Structures are given as C-alpha cells and as structure tokens.
C-alpha cells in the first residue's frame, strides 16, 4: 500500500503542486517568488564551444510546452534573468514568447556555483516580485537543493518555483523558503 501511494504521488506530483499552489496557499503580497529553470535539451554540433551550443529540436518543443503550461496555470513572472550561453538564453527567449517580459543576461548564471545564484538574487530590484532564473546543471540542482528540503535533480527544461518569505531580495539568505512546484517536461 505504501509503495502504491508513493508511486501515485510521484507520478501525479505536478497535479498536487498545481492544486496546492493555486488553491490552498494563502496569498501573501509581501512574499517573493523565485523560479529556477534549467535550459532545455541542447545539441552539441562538432567544433562548437560549450557556450555556443544550440537547442535541439526536442529542447525547442519542451521550452514552448513548458512556458505555455506555466502561463496557462497562472504562474506569474515579472522578470527573466538568463545565463548568456546560447542554450539558456534561447530557452529564456522561448519562454518570453509566452510571457513578453524584460529579459536580462547575467554571466554569473553560466557554470554557476550556489553563491552565484545568491549574488544575482541580491542584485534584483525589490519592485520585482517574481523572477525566473535560466541556468545550467549542476549548479541549478545544487542551488535548489541548498534552499529546499526536497532533494531533486533538474532534467533539461525542469522548473522549480519557491516562495521566499521576505519583502526585499536582500533578505533572501535568512528568509524562509518553500517549494511550490517542480515541473518536468515529460510530466506536464
């Protein structure tokens, strides 16, 4: 029975997160929202540097599907910040076809450490209530796991959303953080 319940929850975690995110969580306007997005599936053509790797056809499709899924499920985002690497920036641009936001690039999100993410977060303007950071593994998985009790590994185009209990991004480190959702392209 326990195995059945565990498997049912795992296979339907998107549904559970959607339900709790949209219906059961109290809406606190003073909370910040942090959304982490790993770049979509990339290709690696011969003689192409890591920084210049393009998205594969699957990556293009996954990014479009994920951005539409998030928008249709009322995941609000105010601002995008992306690694300047081609595969991350193109993932961000595809999301922006759906969201139509201001996009910034940040070198610290390419081959990032956990501290790189924190540095980018501390530099955010407090008028930004919800931000999506587009980056790479292993850094994005390590950072997500450092701020959450939920241990997970980001697949390509995986997305995790967190509620940060703070009024200012400068309070991020000491603020309580809660995982709101974790979406994988193959499970939406």
- Residue 136 annotated in active site: no
Second-level CATH architecture of 31-183: 3-Layer(aba) Sandwich (3.40)
Confidence of residue 165 (pLDDT cuts 50, 70, 90): very high
Q: What is the structure's pLDDT at 179?
A: 95
Catalytic residue (one of 17, 29, 106, 114): 114
Q: Output the pTM of the full model.
A: 0.84
Catalytic residue (one of 11, 29, 39, 106): 39
- Residue 114 annotated in active site: yes
Task: List, for residues 67-104, the tens digit of each pLDDT value.
Answer: 999 999 999 999 999 999 999 999 999 999 999 998 99
Task: Locate the domains of the chain by residue range.
Answer: 31-183
- 68 appears as a binding residue in the annotation: no
Measured between alpha carbons, how far is residue 170 from residues 42, 75, 79, 83, 173 in Å?
33, 23, 17, 21, 8
Dig out the tokens for 76 from the structure: 């609000």
Average pLDDT over the chain reads 88
Task: List, for residues 41-75, the tens digit of each pLDDT value.
Answer: 999 898 999 999 999 999 999 999 999 999 999 99
Torsion sign over Cα 13, 97, 132, 142:
positive
Examine the pLDDT at 155 and tell me if it is beyond 80. yes
Examine the pLDDT at 23 and tell me if it is beyond 90. no
């Amino acid at each position: 029975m326990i195995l059945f319940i565990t498997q049912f929850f795992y296979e339907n975690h998107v549904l559970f997160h959607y339900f709790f995110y949209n219906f059961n969580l109290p809406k606190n306007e003073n909370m910040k929202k942090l959304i982490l997005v790993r770049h979509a599936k990339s290709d690696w053509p011969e003689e192409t540097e890591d920084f210049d790797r393009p998205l594969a056809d699957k990556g293009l499709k996954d990014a479009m599907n994920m951005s539409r899924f998030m928008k249709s499920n009322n995941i609000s985002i105010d601002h995008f910040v992306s690694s300047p690497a081609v595969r991350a920036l193109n993932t961000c641009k595809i999301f922006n076809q759906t969201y139509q936001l201001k996009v910034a690039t940040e070198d610290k999100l390419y081959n990032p450490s956990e501290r790189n993410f924190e540095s980018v977060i501390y530099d955010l303007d407090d008028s930004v209530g919800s931000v999506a950071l587009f980056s790479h593994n292993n850094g994005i998985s390590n950072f997500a796991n450092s701020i959450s009790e939920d241990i997970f590994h980001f697949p390509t185009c995986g997305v995790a959303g967190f509620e940060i209990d703070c009024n200012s991004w400068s309070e991020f480190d000491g603020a309580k953080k809660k995982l709101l959702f974790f979406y994988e392209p193959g499970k939406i």
